Amino acid sequence: MSIHYDTKLQIFHLQTENTSYVFGLARGTYPVHLHWGKKIRSSAISDLFDPGAMGFSSTVDPAEPSLSLDTLPHEYPGYGSGDFREPAYVAELANGTTVTELAYVSHSILKGKPALEGLPAVYAETEEEAETLQLVLEDSLAGLRTELSYTVMKGFDTIIRSARLINTGTAPLKLNRALSLALDFPHDEFELIHLSGSWARERHLVRAPLRSGHQGIDSKRGASSHQQNPFLALLSPNAGEDSGEAYGFSLVYSGSFSAGAEVDQYGSTRVTMGINPFGFRWLLEPGESFQTPEAVLAYSDAGIGGMSRIYHRLYRTRLARGLYRDEPRPVLINNWEATYFGFDADKIEDIARAGQALGIELFVLDDGWFGRRDDDTTSLGDWFVDKRKLPQGLSDLAERVNRLGMQFGLWFEPEMVSPDSELYRAHPDWCLHVPDRRRSQSRNQLILDLSRPEVCDYIIDAVSSVLSSAPITYVKWDMNRHMTEIGSASLPPGRQGETAHRYMLGLYRVMEEITSSFPHVLFESCSGGGGRFDPGILHYMPQTWTSDNTDAVERLKIQYGTSIVYPASAMGAHISAVPNHQVHRSTPLSMRGDVAMSGNFGYELDLTRFTEQEQAEAAAQVAFYKEIRSLVQQGDMYRLLSPFEGNETAWMFVAEDQSEALAGYFRVLAGPNTARPRLRLQGLDPDKDYILKETGVIYGGDRLMYAGLLLPELHGDFRSKLLHFVAVTA
pLDDT score of 1 more than 90? no
123 Cβ partners below 8 Å, 6+ apart?
113, 115, 318, 319, 321
Task: Give the pLDDT confidence of 198-237 residue by residue, as tens digits.
Answer: 999 999 999 999 999 999 999 999 999 999 999 999 999 9
Query: Quick one: what percent of the chain has pLDDT higher than 70?
Result: 99
Q: What is the structure's pLDDT at 538?
A: 98
Residue among 210, 277, 265 at smallest CA distance from 70: 265
pLDDT score of 55 more than 90? no
Cross-sheet strand order for the sheet of 636-641 = 636-641, 648-654, 660-667, 719-727, 689-692, 698-700
Strands 295-300 and 289-291: unpaired
Looking at residues 56-85, what average pLDDT do you find?
Answer: 88
Percent helix, strand, coil in the chain (nearest 5)? 20, 35, 45
Residue among 454, 371, 453, 355 at smallest CA distance from 412: 371
Asked whether 724 and 675 are in contact (CB, 8 A), the reply is no
Q: What is the structure's pLDDT at 51?
A: 66
Task: Give the pLDDT confidence of 505-541 residue by residue, as tens digits.
Answer: 999 999 999 999 999 999 999 999 999 999 999 999 9
Q: What is the structure's pLDDT at 60?
A: 83
Task: Give the pLDDT confidence of 424-477 residue by residue, as tens digits.
Answer: 999 999 999 999 999 999 999 999 999 999 999 999 999 999 999 999 999 999
Looking at residues 546-567, what average pLDDT do you find?
Answer: 98
CA 371 to chain centre: 32
The pLDDT-based confidence of 62 (bands split at 50, 70, 90) is confident
Q: What is the structure's pLDDT at 65?
A: 78
Mean pLDDT of the residues in the chain: 96
Asked whether 420 and 456 are in contact (CB, 8 A), the reply is no
Q: What is the structure's pLDDT at 53?
A: 55
Evaluate if pTM is beyond 0.95. Answer: yes
Query: Quick one: what percent of the chain has pLDDT higher than 90?
Result: 94
Q: What is the structure's pLDDT at 660?
A: 98
The pLDDT-based confidence of 619 (bands split at 50, 70, 90) is very high
**How far is it, in rounded angstroms, from Cα 582 to Cα 546?**
14
705 Cβ partners below 8 Å, 6+ apart?
680, 681, 682, 684, 686
Known catalytic residues are 478, 548
